[in-house]
């Protein structure tokens, strides 16, 4: 999933770099430095091929194993297994046909991926909105990392329903001391969060998220795991739930100018190699 699923989680809480009366200035300096790295596009410009294992609404609750090839305009995916079992011949043929369509219509693929990037840009804008929303505990050394706890700043007034939910979370950040990159962030709602005084809905206590990053070839930190579980009820008592478990591994650095067609070819070739193994 690259940095996408990682940036979206940073949006949630990481960007709480603001200074309030009870926050640790030492922690604030660490978080501010780390945020510079998170927001530096030059540090996240490499392209990779990797294996993604995901269970989410997108996968219909199944465990999907996909090979992913990143390009400058988006990620090309090839499903190779579901729930630990290889695809049927018919389904594998359907995947190859889908890839062939992507290769034949790269402009359409680019437009679909632009919508995703627009969502990411909107998420990054939330960093500015949340910078003054949290207080930080003093950093604690934990191996090669610094652990920094965060909690809501009661003086901050959320400006939207989204912020209302985010602002209710507490948790911790792990920052790699060698690179000052985000290593891990996790947050949890200790109490229910009512939206619109409970008239619009409620997000239940215990809703949580965590994400981890790891250094990969090319010295870039990529999202390695994501675990999200959000429960609640919206207007008219409609139950909502967001559950997502993702793991990325086997990263291989790609050329910086890899095209959509080349990505498709590499995924198909790799799939054939897997089938023979």
| Span 101-139, pLDDT tens digits | 999 999 999 988 887 665 455 445 555 545 678 899 999
Range of the structural domain that residue 22 is part of: 2-276
> Mean per-residue pLDDT for 189-196?
87
Q: Residue 125 and residue 122: Cα distance in Å, rounded?
A: 5
Q: Is residue 37 within a helix (H) or strand (E), and if so which, with residue range?
A: helix 25-39
Placement of tokens 């400058």 in the chain: 72
| Span 33-67, pLDDT tens digits | 988 888 788 888 999 999 999 999 889 999 999 99
pLDDT at position 105: 93
- Of 212, 241, 209, the closest CA to residue 227 belongs to 209
> Per-residue confidence at 16, pLDDT binned at 50, 70, 90?
very low
Report the percent of the chain where pLDDT is more than 90. Answer: 51
pLDDT at position 6: 47
Backbone angles phi, psi at 84, to 5 degrees: 80, 5
Does 189 score more than 70 pLDDT?
yes
Task: Please count the structural domains in the chain.
Answer: 1
Does 240 score more than 90 pLDDT?
no
Q: Residue 255 and residue 66: Cα distance in Å, rounded?
A: 20
Does 11 score more than 70 pLDDT?
no
Tokens of 43: 């540090």
Q: Residue 241 and residue 223: Cα distance in Å, rounded?
A: 23
> Mean per-residue pLDDT for 155-169?
81
The mean pLDDT value of the chain amounts to 83
- Of 164, 103, 147, 116, the closest CA to residue 8 belongs to 116
What lies within 8 Å, CB to CB, of 269 at 6+ separation is none
Tokens of 196: 């619109």
Q: Residue 60 and residue 141: Cα distance in Å, rounded?
A: 40
Does 245 score more than 90 pLDDT?
yes
Q: Residue 186 and residue 149: Cα distance in Å, rounded?
A: 10
pLDDT at position 124: 53
> Mean per-residue pLDDT for 65-85?
96
Does 3 score more than 80 pLDDT?
no
Does 4 score more than 50 pLDDT?
no
Angle at 240 between CA 117 and CA 227, to 5 degrees: 60
Cβ–Cβ < 8 Å for 130, 16: yes
Longest CA span, the chain: 62
């Amino acid at each position: 999933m690259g940095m996408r699923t990682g940036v979206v989680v940073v949006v949630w809480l990481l960007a709480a770099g603001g200074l309030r009366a009870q926050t640790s200035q030492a922690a604030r300096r660490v978080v501010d430095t780390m945020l510079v790295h998170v927001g530096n596009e030059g540090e996240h410009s490499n392209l990779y091929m990797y294996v993604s294992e995901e269970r989410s609404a997108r996968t219909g609750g199944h465990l999907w194993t996909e090979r992913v090839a990143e390009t400058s305009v988006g990620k090309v995916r090839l499903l190779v297994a579901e729930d630990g079992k290889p695809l049927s011949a018919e389904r594998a043929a359907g995947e190859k046909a889908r890839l062939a369509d992507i290769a034949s219509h790269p402009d359409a693929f680019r437009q679909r991926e632009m919508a995703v990037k627009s969502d990411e840009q909107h998420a990054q804008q939330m960093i500015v909105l949340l910078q003054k929303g949290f207080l930080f505990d003093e950093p604690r050394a934990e191996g090669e990392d610094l652990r920094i706890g965060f909690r809501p700043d009661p003086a901050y007034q959320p400006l939207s329903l989204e912020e209302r939910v985010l602002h209710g979370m507490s948790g911790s950040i792990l920052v790699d001391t060698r690179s000052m990159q985000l290593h891990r962030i996790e947050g949890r709602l200790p109490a229910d969060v009512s939206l619109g005084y409970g008239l619009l809905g409620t997000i239940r206590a215990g809703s949580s998220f965590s994400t981890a990053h790891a250094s990969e070839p090319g010295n870039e930190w990529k999202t390695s795991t994501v675990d999200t579980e959000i429960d609640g009820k919206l207007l008219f008592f409609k139950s909502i739930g967001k559950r997502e478990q993702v793991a990325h591994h086997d990263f291989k650095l790609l050329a910086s100018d890899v095209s959509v067609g080349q990505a498709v070819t590499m995924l198909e070739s790799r799939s054939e190699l897997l089938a023979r193994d």
